[in-house]
């Protein structure tokens, strides 16, 4: 009976907050700079559309037009591209959650995240991007994404990015998903391994061909973005490497990913391999994303003898329906996660409804069913960028 009233209460709250509201005037930094609507780059906060992806790939400069003169200071120095206004934006996420669990069956997760973001060109061929988590789940998380982007090196389609980023970004960007539920296969690291496909420090090299083939190569420390110890960020002598190839098919893309690495605790080692395909197909109204990965660790417990190999297979399928394309007031998302491994298992199904109450204000209603635990979680959220 108690769970019934929780569900009724959440439904009532959701019904109230999806009612039409007055348009919010504040918009993020790039929209302010170019005097564009957020809709120029985004379908919905924070999901990008093709133009937004091209804008980011172009170093946060317009991909189809020269930079407006009004956006930069006239210094008389042709070698200096100085932005007139320093770009800053904020993303604010807040949630109300109800779930079948022993503690905090209902939980006000407010704020769940508060980010300060900045990015833009340093010169014609160099740009930067970073965001600082002022508050993430009640803690000051600090810098996550933070990198320098060198584009069109040697007047070619060759780019380099150096800094902090997610290894999974060339696959599907976790930061841009519409659901509260995550892409879990990217987060898993069996046993005592520190390596996964989320945040790491390193370098990314990319090259794009005119016929739609894109190549990405990465070298990373392989131990995440924890603080330096003794002024050293890496915790062993090896680097981990990843390679991705993706082909644009006209109606989507198909790709393949390989990750190989070695990590050490100073005494024993663990060798890691991750590989698998992914695919995206769709049009302006519907998008289907699918990811499969196989991972093997030969010594995730870092023992000297009797090492046990860990294997897992997993991935996700995501279906997004946008009835009116990028003008959709409502967006519908289904996400299925499954991981089957020696040390970890996970299986959930999520259905999510997003309502664009304003161009930069999204209301979320979501239900996730944990297949293994046979438990349900309800989430209502507010996501805004300004």
Return the closest-CA partner of residue 356 out of 176, 178, 91: 178
User: Residue 146: what are its φ and ψ, rounded to 5°?
Assistant: -165, 110
pLDDT value for 212? 95
325 secondary structure, DSSP code: G
The reply to whether CATH 2.40.160.10 applies to domain 2-385 is: yes
pLDDT value for 181? 98
pLDDT value for 319? 98
20-24, 196-200, 209-213, 358-362: segment of lowest average pLDDT: 20-24
Summarize pLDDT for 267-305 with one digit per residue, the tens: 999 999 999 999 999 999 999 999 999 999 999 999 988
Asked whether the beta carbons of 321 and 331 are under 8 A apart, the reply is: yes
Summarize pLDDT for 73-91 with one digit per residue, the tens: 888 888 888 888 888 999 9
2-16, 315-329, 339-353, 367-381: segment of lowest average pLDDT: 2-16
pLDDT value for 52? 82
Summarize pLDDT for 163-194 with one digit per residue, the tens: 999 999 999 999 999 999 999 999 999 999 99
Top pLDDT among 386 and 147 is at 147
Q: How far is it, in rounded angstroms, from Cα 258 to Cα 256?
A: 7
pTM of the model: 0.89
> 262: which strand partners?
271
pLDDT value for 72? 84
pLDDT value for 59? 83
Mean pLDDT of the chain: 90
> 242: which strand partners?
218, 259
Provide the pLDDT confidence category of residue 13 given band limits of 50, 70 and 90: very low
Return the closest-CA partner of residue 314 out of 360, 363, 276, 267: 276
Provide the pLDDT confidence category of residue 5 given band limits of 50, 70 and 90: very low
């Amino acid at each position: 009976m108690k769970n019934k009233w929780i569900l009724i209460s959440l439904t009532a709250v959701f019904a109230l907050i999806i009612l039409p509201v007055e348009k919010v005037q504040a918009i993020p930094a790039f929209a302010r700079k170019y005097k564009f609507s957020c809709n120029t780059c985004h379908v919905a906060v924070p999901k990008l559309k093709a133009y937004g992806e091209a804008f980011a790939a172009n170093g946060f400069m317009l991909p189809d037009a020269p930079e407006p003169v009004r956006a930069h200071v006239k210094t008389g120095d042709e070698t200096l591209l100085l932005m007139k206004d320093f770009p800053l934006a904020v993303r604010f996420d807040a949630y109300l959650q109800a779930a079948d669990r022993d503690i905090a069956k209902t939980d006000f997760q407010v704020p769940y995240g508060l980010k300060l973001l900045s990015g833009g060109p340093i010169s014609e061929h160099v740009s930067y991007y970073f965001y600082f988590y002022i508050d993430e789940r009640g803690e000051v998380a600090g810098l996550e994404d933070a990198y320098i982007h060198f584009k069109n090196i040697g007047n070619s389609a060759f780019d380099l990015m150096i800094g902090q980023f997610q290894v999974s970004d060339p696959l599907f960007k976790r930061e841009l998903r519409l659901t509260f539920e995550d892409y879990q296969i990217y987060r898993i690291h069996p046993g005592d391994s520190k390596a996964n496909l989320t945040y790491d420090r390193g370098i990314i090299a990319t090259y794009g061909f005119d016929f739609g083939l894109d190549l990405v190569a990465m070298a990373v420390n392989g131990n995440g973005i924890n603080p330096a110890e003794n002024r050293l960020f890496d915790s062993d002598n090896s680097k981990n490497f990843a390679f991705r190839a993706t082909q644009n098919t006209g109606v989507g893309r198909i790709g393949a990913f390989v990750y190989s690495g070695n990590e050490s605790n100073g005494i024993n080692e663990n060798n890691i391999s991750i590989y698998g395909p992914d695919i995206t197909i769709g049009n302006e109204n519907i998008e289907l994303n699918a990811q499969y990965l196989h991972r093997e660790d030969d010594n995730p417990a870092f023992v000297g003898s009797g090492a046990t190999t860990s294997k897992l297979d997993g991935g996700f399928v995501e279906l997004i329906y946008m009835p009116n394309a990028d003008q959709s007031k409502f967006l519908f998302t289904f996400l299925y996660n499954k991981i089957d491994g020696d040390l970890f298992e996970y299986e959930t199904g999520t259905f999510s409804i997003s309502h664009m109450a304003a161009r930069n204000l999204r209301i979320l209603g979501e239900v996730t069913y944990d297949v293994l635990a046979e438990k349900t979680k309800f989430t209502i959220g507010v996501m805004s960028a300004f």
